[in-house]
């Protein structure tokens, strides 16, 4: 299967080495005026070859799936950063609801095929960006923007590599989500006499789950109405069971989806499903997060956009977190980025949008609300929560692995098979059929 993502102690080391050149870069950036506050920045620095910001008019249509109570204010923070410089441009928020972009991505495809792109759209680094948009010739490179803004020096190489094709860079990463979070309601857990330490094994979870079951509380709040939730819970369970090295081997074609270790992970996933809320097919991901907030569910396996919900609902103090059982030491990358469409209707405004969202200031405003950490490593860490600092530390030292559920690890076809097969598995729990479907999909991709 293409798109092998290197396990990443090496890559991380490279990225860290890269970060040490940050001081130099910042000096250069400062010389260019880049470290000045956003407001009025480009008007005076002469950095941009584009029109004087204040002169820009027209519209800017931004396409995403950020509509949940936590996602929407984070998107708004990016809009605010843009409007602070480009007040004359009318922002059109073309977000299509549906967690993980299930509905949005279909709408976007129709628009792109009909030659009716928005001015920029949200996607994920890796396969999703390359296979759905770059190879299909829907996106223009923005390599010159990376050069003029000095971004290659402040964005880790792991991320740069996954927006680069044939030496051209194609998207601006705004935030790095950690996909393998396991969130819990502190009071519910304490009331049940359960202790959660810095890590949780699968056995620990099942033991706690029995305690919750006896009390009539779903141990695992699940919102499988959003199609990404089942596959994401499975990929986290798989990672926790086989570890990051074997996980990466699956996508490099070096380990089969019918390996016994994979089948065992499927069996564990099936067992976890014995502890979920019965209304999960009718519940969205944020609905399931809400169950935990309300104390009607103990744990939720979710990328840290869940943290954005806790921020929006002002309940961060009541919530604890660990890695999804067994997956400590690994960081599932779910990296949100924005593109420049070929034939963007408002190309100049679109380029300015990408420039703004790539700044330190915009990323410092957006990520505290979104739950992700900035794609830039030169941010002021004191502006971030304890959770964010924990995630930054994990990003710096842990094995980085790509998410299948969010389109980074494998082709769109493989992802779709994973979605369909997981949906079936949640109902029939047939390990052999699940495994076979993924073996077939991997073979077609090879
Ligand atoms: C992911 C995306 C996140 C978050 C999540 C739920 O695909 O990367 O930013 O929005 O879906 O909608």
Span 238-276, pLDDT tens digits: 999 999 999 999 999 999 999 999 999 999 999 999 999
Number of the ligand 1 atom closest to the C-alpha atom of 98: 12
Instruction: Give the whole-angstrom CA distance, residue 326 versus residue 34.
Output: 42
Binned at pLDDT 50, 70 and 90, residue 446 comes out as confident
For residue 348, the surrounding DSSP H or E stretch is helix 347-357
Nearest to 224 by CA among 100, 96, 359: 100
Residue 413: CA count within 13 A, CB half-sphere: 12
With a cut of 50, say whether residue 195 has pLDDT above it.
yes
- As given in the structure block, the two tokens for residue 306 are 């869940």
DSSP state of 41: H
Question: Nearest 5°: phi and psi at 321?
Answer: -150, 150
Q: What is the mean pLDDT of residues 34-61?
A: 53
pLDDT at 53: 54
Number of the ligand 1 atom closest to the C-alpha atom of 99: 12
Partnered with residue 400 across adjacent β-strands are 331
Cα Rg, the chain, nearest whole Å: 21
Binned at pLDDT 50, 70 and 90, residue 20 comes out as very low
pLDDT at 422: 98
Q: What share of the chain is helix, strand, coil (3-state, %, to 5)?
A: 55, 15, 35
Least confidently predicted of 7-16, 67-76, 134-143, 338-347: 7-16
- The answer to whether residues 377 and 154 touch, using CB atoms and an 8 Å cutoff, is yes
C-alpha 101 – ligand 1 centre gap (Å): 7
Instruction: Give the whole-angstrom CA distance, residue 208 versus residue 325.
Output: 12
Q: Taking CA 132 as the corner, what is the angle to CA 410 and CA 234, rounded to the nearest 5 degrees?
A: 35
Q: How many other C-beta atoms can be found within 10 angstroms of the C-beta atom of residue 92?
A: 13
C-alpha 27 – ligand 1 centre gap (Å): 34
pLDDT at 8: 40
Task: Name residue, tokens 């000096």.
Answer: 27
pLDDT tens sequence across 72-88: 999 999 999 999 999 99
With a cut of 80, say whether residue 6 has pLDDT above it.
no
Q: Which of 159, 286, 303, 307 is the best mutation target for the ligand 1 pocket, counting ligand atoms within 8 Å of the beta carbon and taking the most? A: 303
pLDDT tens sequence across 83-131: 999 999 999 999 999 999 999 999 999 999 999 999 999 999 999 999 9
Q: What is the mean pLDDT of residues 165-180?
A: 98
The reported pTM is 0.89
Instruction: Give the whole-angstrom CA distance, residue 342 versus residue 321.
Output: 41
Instruction: Give the whole-angstrom CA distance, residue 17 versus residue 156.
Output: 9
Q: What percent of the chain has pLDDT over 90?
A: 87
C-alpha 387 – ligand 1 centre gap (Å): 18
Nearest to 331 by CA among 390, 290, 289: 390
Mean pLDDT of the chain: 90
Q: Which residue has the higher pLDDT, 34 or 288?
A: 288
Q: Which of 127, 305, 391 is the best mutation target for the ligand 1 pocket, counting ligand atoms within 8 Å of the beta carbon and taking the most? A: 305
With a cut of 90, say whether residue 171 has pLDDT above it.
yes
pLDDT at 43: 33
With a cut of 50, say whether residue 45 has pLDDT above it.
no
Pocket-forming residues, ligand 1, beta carbon under 6 Å: 65-66, 71, 99-101, 177, 285, 305, 334, 336, 406
- The answer to whether residues 177 and 304 touch, using CB atoms and an 8 Å cutoff, is yes
Number of the ligand 1 atom closest to the C-alpha atom of 68: 12
C-alpha 68 – ligand 1 centre gap (Å): 10
Instruction: Give the whole-angstrom CA distance, residue 324 versus residue 322.
Output: 6
C-alpha 55 – ligand 1 centre gap (Å): 34
């Amino acid at each position: 299967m293409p798109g092998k993502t290197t396990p990443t102690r090496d890559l991380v080391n490279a990225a860290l080495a890269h970060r040490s050149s940050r001081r130099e870069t910042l000096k250069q950036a400062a010389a260019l005026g880049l470290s000045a506050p956003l407001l009025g920045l480009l008007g005076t620095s002469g950095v941009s070859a584009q029109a004087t910001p204040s002169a820009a008019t027209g519209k800017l249509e931004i396409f995403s799936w950020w509509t949940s109570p936590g996602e929407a204010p984070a998107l708004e923070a990016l809009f605010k950063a843009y409007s602070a410089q480009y007040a004359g441009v009318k922002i059109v928020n073309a977000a299509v609801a549906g967690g993980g972009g299930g509905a949005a991505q279909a709408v976007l495809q129709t628009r792109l095929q009909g030659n009716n792109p928005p001015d920029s759209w949200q996607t994920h680094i890796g396969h999703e960006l390359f296979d759905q948009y770059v190879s299909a010739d829907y996106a223009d490179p923005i390599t010159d923007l990376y050069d003029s803004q000095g971004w290659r020096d402040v964005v880790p190489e792991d991320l740069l590599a996954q927006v680069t094709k044939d030496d051209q860079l194609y998207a601006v990463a705004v935030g790095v989500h950690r996909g393998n979070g396991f969130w819990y309601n502190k009071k519910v857990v304490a009331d049940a006499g359960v202790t959660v330490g810095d890590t949780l094994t699968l056995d620990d979870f099942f033991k706690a789950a029995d305690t919750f079951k006896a009390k009539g509380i779903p141990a695992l709040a699940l919102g499988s109405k959003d199609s990404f939730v089942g596959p994401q819970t499975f990929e986290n369970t798989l990672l926790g069971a086989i570890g990051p090295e074997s996980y990466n081997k699956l996508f490099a074609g070096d380990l089969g989806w019918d390996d016994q270790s994979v089948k065992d992970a499927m069996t564990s996933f099936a067992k976890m499903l014995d502890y979920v809320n019965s209304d999960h097919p009718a519940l969205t991901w944020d609905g399931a997060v809400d169950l935990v907030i309300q104390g009607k569910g103990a744990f939720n396996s979710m990328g840290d956009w869940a943290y954005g919900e806790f921020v929006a609902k002002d309940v961060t103090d009541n919530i604890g977190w660990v890695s999804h059982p067994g997956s400590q030491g690994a960081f599932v990358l779910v990296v949100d980025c924005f593109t420049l469409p070929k034939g963007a209707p408002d190309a100049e405004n679109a380029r300015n949008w990408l420039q703004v969202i790539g700044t330190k200031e915009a990323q410092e405003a957006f990520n505290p609300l979104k739950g992700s950490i900035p794609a830039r490593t030169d941010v002021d860490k004191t502006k971030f929560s304890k959770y964010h600092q924990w995630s930054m530390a994990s990003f710096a030292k842990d094995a980085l692995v790509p998410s299948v559920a969010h389109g980074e690890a494998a082709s769109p076809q493989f992802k779709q098979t994973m979605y369909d097969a997981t949906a079936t598995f949640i109902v029939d729990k047939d390990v052999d059929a699940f495994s076979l479907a993924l073996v077939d999909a991997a073979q077609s991709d090879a």
